Amino acid sequence: MDYISNNYMTLLMLAALTMLLIVNRRMKINGLQYYGALMLIVLGLTVAEAAEDICDAYMLDVRILYVKSAFVYWLYPLTAMLGLYLVVPLRYKLLWSIPYLVNFVLVFIDIFDTRMIYYFRPDHGFQTGPLRMLPIAVLSFYITALGFYSVLILKSGYRSKGVIAIFMTVTSEVTAIGESKAFAAGHSETVTVMELIVYYFFLAAINYSETQTKLYESRIELEQERNKLLVAQIQPHFIFNSLVTIQSLCYTDGDAAADYIDVFGDYLRANIDSLSSDKPIRFESELDHINHYVTLEKASTDVDFTMIYELHVRNFNIPPLTIQPIVENAIKHGALTRRDGSGVVKIRTEEQDGNIIITVTDNGAGKNAALTEKQKEHRSVGIENARQRLAMQCGGTLEVEISDSGARAVIVIPKNTETEDS
């Protein structure tokens, strides 16, 4: 009970820091690799102090005090050294550890009563040797180094980190002096944990800021990719052909021209709206967009083709602009390759095992189609765009098979996908 009473705040703060590390274990923060070691060191120091009290109270073998003192003289400078490594990304860490290693060796030798740094009388009285200042000097060396680099950090423009590092330097130095002068005896472990918690929150704040910056940059990149997809989806060549067709109808059939303008406007609006849509739409809306595209395609080409609809299920939702680019590929690179007008594109919907299956097939040239590199690129962009929309918005899949007798695209989506309207 005396151990808990004497170290209550230290143990409580260690528990709180442990909880923070566990809860935020997925957070990638530079420097956290030192936290586990520092926390174990602090816990070890509290146990060492308790061991001395027990040894004195029951007058146990004095060799226990030698081991206890060795641990203390090892762990205090190690805490300062790891604190320096935590804050400052030093190179040549092995070189920086030489003072600590010298201290470690001499303290270890003193366990065998060489009396260079410390020794004990038979009555457990503590005595110092000629090198008694070595552990304190090593401790001060690392604290001073932290202070030096804190000033450099502050001058380099990293004000927040510099201020935190200076705070850690000052508290460590004051506590070390307080231990030697007895006005802050027994508080070193608590101060060390406090510094770790303060620096952890600083690292967490930096991590949060960097995450927000990356998120903002990702949104910018996403917007740019959406614009690229828009350009790839709405071909200038197709728009030009549609406008030429409408223009020619203006001279021959004004009513038909007006109808085609309405269809053309609906087609463009659906493409543009799809870029800002984060949820699936009703299949009927996608079907309307497909019909607008088919109407414009038939009006602007001199080769006819047939559309077949086998819609066994209509009441489902689908990400916008997923079936339309597949139908577009089936018409351009499939049905229109049959110059005799016998090209066919079929859209079939059905329900199987709780999923909606949408199949788009054509009877075009398939693998034998002579496509330019630009046409191949446009086809792959449209397919990949549709595949990403399906995966992100409803967990659906898209598979495309191209054979010698045409192409077949199969979309599988779960039922009851949330829509933009709902």
CATH number for the domain that contains residue 122: 1.20.1070
Helix axes 188-233, 254-275, angle to 10 degrees: 160
Single out the residue in 148, 183, 215 at which a domain terminates.
215
Single out the residue in 215, 250, 267 at which a domain terminates.
215
52 by Cβ neighbours in 10 Å (0-12 / 13-18 / 19+) ranks as: middle
Position 179 scores a pLDDT of 78
CA nearest neighbour of 272 among 310, 225, 227 = 227
Instruction: Please report whether residue 139 resides in a domain.
Output: yes
Q: Verify that 309 and 345 share a domain, yes or no.
A: yes
Q: Verify that 255 and 180 share a domain, yes or no.
A: no
Position 375 scores a pLDDT of 64
Q: Verify that 168 and 239 share a domain, yes or no.
A: no
Instruction: Please report whether residue 221 resides in a domain.
Output: no
Instruction: Please report whether residue 89 resides in a domain.
Output: yes
Q: Verify that 290 and 402 share a domain, yes or no.
A: yes
Position 173 scores a pLDDT of 87
Position 83 scores a pLDDT of 92
Instruction: Please report whether residue 224 resides in a domain.
Output: no
Q: Verify that 163 and 278 share a domain, yes or no.
A: no
Q: Verify that 207 and 255 share a domain, yes or no.
A: no
CA nearest neighbour of 11 among 49, 53, 65, 64 = 49
Q: Verify that 238 and 208 share a domain, yes or no.
A: no
Residues 6+ apart with CB under 8 A from 223: none
Q: Verify that 132 and 277 share a domain, yes or no.
A: no
Instruction: Please report whether residue 94 resides in a domain.
Output: yes
Q: Verify that 309 and 352 share a domain, yes or no.
A: yes
Q: Verify that 199 and 238 share a domain, yes or no.
A: no
Tens place of pLDDT per residue across the chain (422 aa): 688 888 899 999 999 999 988 888 877 777 778 898 999 999 999 998 888 888 888 888 888 899 999 999 999 999 999 999 999 988 889 999 999 999 999 999 999 989 999 999 888 888 999 999 999 999 999 999 999 999 999 888 888 889 999 999 999 988 888 877 777 777 889 999 999 999 999 888 888 888 888 888 877 776 666 656 555 555 566 677 778 878 888 888 888 888 888 888 888 787 777 656 667 889 998 999 899 888 888 888 888 899 999 999 999 999 888 898 899 889 988 888 888 888 999 999 999 988 999 999 999 887 777 666 666 666 677 788 788 878 888 889 999 998 888 899 999 999 865 555 44
Position 401 scores a pLDDT of 92
In tens, the pLDDT along 69-79 reads 999 999 999 99
Residues 6+ apart with CB under 8 A from 408: 359, 360, 361, 400, 401, 402
Instruction: Please report whether residue 228 resides in a domain.
Output: no
Sequence letter at residue 353: D
Count of structural domains within the chain: 2
Instruction: Please report whether residue 34 resides in a domain.
Output: yes
Instruction: Please report whether residue 227 resides in a domain.
Output: no
Q: Verify that 202 and 283 share a domain, yes or no.
A: no
Single out the residue in 183, 215, 247 at which a domain terminates.
215
Q: Verify that 47 and 174 share a domain, yes or no.
A: yes
User: By residue range, what is the domain housing residue 111?
Assistant: 2-215
Position 364 scores a pLDDT of 87
CATH number for the domain that contains residue 345: 3.30.565.10
